[in-house]
Chains A and B, each alone.
Chain A
Amino acid sequence: MNLELLTYPVIVGQFFVDGLGRGLMYGLMGMGLALIFGIMGLINFAHGAFFMIGTYLMYTVAVQLGLPFPIGIIAAAVGLFCFGALLERGLISPLRRFMGENWLVDGYVMTIGLLIVLENLALIIMGPRGHGISSLVGGRTSLFGVMVTYERILVLVAAIVISGGLWALLRFTNIGRAIRATSEYPEAAMALGIDTRRIYTITFALGSALIGAVGGLLLSTYMAHPSIGSDVLLKSFIVVIVGGLGNVWGAMIAGILLGLVESYAQGIASAGWQNSIVSAIVILVLIFRPGGLFTKATTRP
């Protein structure tokens, strides 16, 4: 362990920038999972597979078709929105209606099955080779001696745009209010004329679109490969557990915290230690704050 590194402001700053970039990625990954869990109560184990589809869509649009990368990210988001909506209407909604109160356990099993099916379909259709790009935007700049790549800045901007967009949608639109109301008290929402089935479909589609867009955005970090979703699923679970189950903003903050912890641990100790430290943090959170660091008290009547 080399604590002496912490006496050099530039190195501390570099760790911070690297950790922030990494943390924003984790936060973005966890937001879709947290949104779906927060509103529907469903843990979507196929979350990583949705990310994988997003990377393939991005690769197809931006590399194979040669279109600008923002169009690739939008294509990944729109594609996953439609895919998520179809899945919710075709599989999850019938399960919820026919299985009654115990549908969630069946839902977990179903999304695990979905993960396996989607990964193997990708293997059959796209093959075992990975596809990637070196970077979405090349180049870098220096801020007070700290090296910042334009790619990192892009991730920061994307995180602000995606988080801000989601916040505005939930806060200021009719559909956002209905989503929040449904998550708090679905029976009361129904009594006001809100079609909660439609709200669940939109929520699932929205969560899917979020992770799809993130898949597209991170194609240069995580290449398009059938099994790339496993690592993403694990990171998403970690930020959702630490941030608070179902807390979208908690996931983002937890993602940033974990990114910073990883970066400093890797820099000060050595490569590999970051995983042990993050695992220890998850265990401590589960013991002392099992609801997560940023969980609000449940106020549902």
Chain B
Amino acid sequence: MTTESFCLQVEGLKSGYERDVPVIEDINMRVSSGSVTGLIGANGAGKSSLLKTILGYLKPEAGRILYEGKDIAGLRPDLSSSLGISYLMEGHSIFPGLSVEENLLLGMWPWRRDRARVRLAIERAFERAPMLRQRRRASAGLLSGGQQRILELERIYMTNPSLIMLDEPSLGLAPNLAGEMFDRIEDFRKEGITVILIDQNVRRVIETSDYVYVLQLGKIMTEGKGEILSRDVENIVKDFI
């Protein structure tokens, strides 16, 4: 298989919050374009740190991160984002003091000078989520947890990203909303958007993902196709505990 068929390739990646204290080490990962790739592991396994290193919050001490064939290791998050990588942070990442509409406007920051494009993108976001239109002038901090998640998802989707990295998207959501979140991930796949997914609902991650990496203490312990790993979910979860 050629490099072009992978949206993202990670080779020998090592990084951490302090020098010589790696949180992830020797990570090798391939993410096929248009696929959903799951990352599972116990708390502290290094899943979020891996995503933060890919986007550029953490500087890698070693290794390469090839995004669409270009090495982006060490690139600042704002530059990685401008290349088409969107990142939904763990917890909420809205700006609570800004209005719903201002949050969406900031989502289009790289294209801020193209007013027509920005307006069109916001209009489409309002069509997909009419609740946001109704509350466009309200402070985003006044939305419920579920509504804030919708705002965050629309804010990253409106930029037409190639790669979406979701860190615990269903955290804190009611079961029906969490279900809708996974339906949305299916929609992303159908549209050809590449997704990397971390979620507390391990079973759902494995079922949703085309390919899954299992992390333990900063290293990849197991990997495989979602459908194969799904037969062994119970044992995988037991291993975490």
Contacts and interface: CB of A to CB of B under 8 A. Distances in A.
A37 to B, nearest CB: 16
Interface stretch (B87-95, B187-195, B226-234): B87-95
B106 A189 contact: yes
B23 interface: no
A194 B86 CA distance: 13
B81 A299 contact: no
Nearest to A182: B95
A190 B81 contact: yes
A190 B141 contact: no
A296 to B, nearest CB: 8
A198 to B, nearest CB: 9
A184 B106 contact: no
B106 A181 contact: yes
A177 B78 contact: no
Contact of B77 (A181, A191, A300): A191
Nearest to B155: A192
Task: Bin the interface of chain B by size.
Answer: 20 to 34
Nearest to A101: B17
A188 B91 CA distance: 11
Interface string A270-301: 00000000000000000000000000100111
A220 interface: no
Interface of A: 174, 177-178, 180-181, 184-185, 187-196, 296, 299-301
Interface of B: 55, 57, 76-79, 81-82, 86-87, 89, 91-98, 102, 105-107, 109-110, 112, 141, 155
Given A184-B95, A193-B79, A194-B78, 10 more contacts: A174-B109, A177-B106, A188-B89, A188-B93, A188-B95, A193-B81, A194-B106, A296-B97, A301-B91, A301-B94
